[in-house]
Chain A
Amino acid sequence: MNTTMRLFILVAGLMFLAACSTLRGTGDMGVVIERASGSVQIIETSHQTRLGRIEGLGDLSHASVVYSRDERYAYVFGRDGGLTRIDILASRIDKRLLQSGNSIGGAISQDGSLVAVSNYTPGGIKVFDAETLELVADIPATYGRDRLRSKVVGLVDAPDQRFVFSLYDAGEIWIADFSMGRHPHITRFKQVGRQPYDGLITPDGRYYLAGLFGEDGLALLDLWHEEKGVRKILADYGRGSKKMPVYKMPHLEGWAMTEDYAFLPEVGRHEVLVVNRHNWKKVTSIPVYGQPVFVMARPDGRQIWVNYAFPDNDTVQVIDTEKLKVVQQLKPGKAVLHMEFTPRGEQVWISARDSNRVTVYDTFDFHEIKVLPADKPSGIFFTSRAHRIGL
């Protein structure tokens, strides 16, 4: 064997060894948004460690994340209109662009080929190729005779290659249907209620619900029967006649569903509303510590975890879904912003912005498993979202 050959075998062998030691799956990985520094941490939940940190993502206040279906790429939607595709295995930015002046969130299509971003300014959604981030469709949210542009909120993916979203200023819900290719068919539902501020899709992908800030009740769209239009449900849901100030808008993405009930944050009141999810009628309301922001079910539906708006944002409570009452109260730090469950729910990760830390709790006995430092952490997003409708 000549020297070149020997060298070749040696290098190939080394490369093989290097690959062996670094190969890993991504199913236990996730990202933590560090909102003030425009960075994200890459973490894993099996041993609760930090694997890397990526900087240079712009204004990440209210940032959110969706995942490619192979759970390798995270799409980060920044407040400044930044759309960044991160390779979480290589811990680096893969592609990044500024697609608008002011955006609020995004979604990935059923087949993983399209990424949509909802924008405040200029109001509308933009849809990009998930691989290249090339613009596929620009859908301005125009309304009324003056062709004004509305802020867009509550953007979700729906089965059959659709995106559904709400127009805050127009009081409309739109469906952008990409099932026929890259030229969407738009369906508009007008006068669904005043100031829809967020929306969600049920985990089965059938119902889209929009919360209304400007009036009571919720707008419900049955995506199996678009022809029936949008109807109002829970006429008493909302701020009621004695309008309470709301110090942080509730988030609907996390609305918790169990087999029989949906658990919703009351708007302005210190209550979590329990609704029968078969007829959408109120069952009861559970008194809680503050104005709820996120109301999230553990994946098995046995517990509901709730965090609160300023000034009660140092507390998290746990509701037992059988007893329908609070069974645990925790203090994860100052300004608790988000909670994320591991795929089967044995851990929950909770960010406390002003305490600069993420606390990992055991959801069975509520003990602290670990505390991880982070720079003003907000949203926490695990890769298991890749395979859930609406996330």
Chain B
Amino acid sequence: MASRFILLPGLFLLLLGQPVFAGELPQQRQNELRDLLLQDCGSCHGMTLKGGLGPALTPDVIATRSRDMVRTTIEQGRSGTPMPPWKNILDNDDINWLVDTLYKGSALQ
């Protein structure tokens, strides 16, 4: 924890001049989540997210679903389907990042 406080002033300087988002994730966590999305979610939804046993998660498909619905599906899973709940494994910031990334379609870029 101590190291985080030491890093903060430096981080603040780095972020000056850039928009700052609440709960912006460290780059390393973003990389881990991108891996999780493409590799682990990808085992059902396809590594290019074009679908498999689970539906496609490409931006055109996601755009037809509400943000709440996408978020709830990741958090709680969907009963009657193999989609498991991820809330015990991922925290709020993680899930927000995944939802944003799905809407933007930025995981594959």
Residues on A with C-beta less than 8 A from B77 are 245
CA distance A35 to B40 in the complex (A): 12
Residues on A with C-beta less than 8 A from B99 are none
Q: Is the interface of A mostly helix, strand, loop or mixed?
A: loop
Interface size on B, residues (CB 8 A): 20
Nearest-neighbour CB distance to chain B for A30, whole angstroms, equals 22
Interface residues as binary, B62-82 with A (CB distance below 8 Å gives 1, 0 otherwise):
000000000000000101101
Tell me if A355 counts as interface (CB < 8 A to partner B). Answer: no
| B53, A249: Cβ atoms closer than 8 Å | yes
Known: A79-B52, A102-B52, A354-B35. A214 touches B46 (CB 8 A): no
CA distance A79 to B47 in the complex (A): 8
| B39, A246: Cβ atoms closer than 8 Å | no
User: In residues 26-80 of chain B, which contact A (Cβ within 8 Å)?
Assistant: 35, 39-40, 42-44, 46-48, 50-53, 77, 79-80
**Pick from A102, A120, A249: contact of B82, CB under 8 Å:** A249
CA distance A214 to B79 in the complex (A): 10
Tell me if B16 counts as interface (CB < 8 A to partner A). Answer: no
CA distance A346 to B18 in the complex (A): 58
Known: A59-B46, A61-B46. A120 touches B85 (CB 8 A): no
User: In residues 44-101 of chain A, which contact B (Cβ within 8 Å)?
Assistant: 59-62, 79-80, 101
Known: A35-B47, A80-B48, A247-B84. A168 touches B53 (CB 8 A): yes
Residues on B with C-beta less than 8 A from A168 are 53
Residues on A with C-beta less than 8 A from B84 are 245-247
| B89, A311: Cβ atoms closer than 8 Å | yes
| A335, B43: Cβ atoms closer than 8 Å | no
| B48, A121: Cβ atoms closer than 8 Å | no
| B39, A62: Cβ atoms closer than 8 Å | no
Q: Which residue of A lies closest to B47 (CB)?
A: A61
Tell me if A338 counts as interface (CB < 8 A to partner B). Answer: no
CA distance A25 to B61 in the complex (A): 49
Q: Which residue of B lies closest to A249 (CB)?
A: B82
CA distance A10 to B42 in the complex (A): 56
Tell me if A197 counts as interface (CB < 8 A to partner B). Answer: yes
Tell me if A349 counts as interface (CB < 8 A to partner B). Answer: no
Tell me if A104 counts as interface (CB < 8 A to partner B). Answer: yes
CA distance A151 to B56 in the complex (A): 14
Residues of A bordering B, CB below 8 Å: 35-36, 59-62, 79-80, 101-102, 104, 120-121, 151, 153, 168, 195, 197, 213-214, 243, 245-249, 310-311, 335, 353-354, 376
Give the top 7 A-B pairs by smallest Cβ distance, nearest first: A245-B84, A61-B47, A61-B42, A310-B40, A247-B84, A245-B85, A59-B48
